[in-house]
Amino acid sequence: MLNEITRAFLKENGISIRHFSKCTDIEYSTCSRWLSGSRNINEEQENRVCEYLSKYAMISVGNCKE
């Protein structure tokens, strides 16, 4: 679910996976596979995604993982 929200946000805002991976300090290949649904990310990476979304997408971190 979080990957779907993130993928939609990136697409709607014209943000590349490469840029997103740099901003979250998650390897590009990991981001790409996670966003496509073919792999999971660990809790630390999930927290970085939530921080990114709370900063740029106005999604509160408390609700980020739901």
Tally of CB atoms within 10 A around 8: 11
Q: Find the domain containing 8 and state its range.
A: 2-64
CB 20 within 8 A of CB 10: yes
Task: Give the pLDDT confidence score for residue 1 in this predicted structure.
Answer: 87
Q: What is the pLDDT of residue 43?
A: 95
Is the predicted pLDDT of residue 4 greater than 90, yes or no?
A: yes
**Quick one: how many helices (H) and strands (E) in the chain?**
5, 0
Can you give the pLDDT at residue 52? 94
Q: Which phi and psi angles does 12 have, rounded to 5°?
A: -65, -25
What are the tokens at 6? 């993130």
Q: What is the CATH number of the domain that holds 10?
A: 1.10.260.40
Report the predicted TM-score, pTM, of the whole model to 2 decimal places: 0.85
- Condensed to tens digits (0 to 9), the pLDDT of residues 24-59 reads 999 999 999 999 999 999 999 999 999 999 988 876
pLDDT of residue 10 exceeding 70, the answer is yes
Non-local (6+) Cβ contacts of 13 within 8 A are 56
* Number of separate domains in the chain: 1
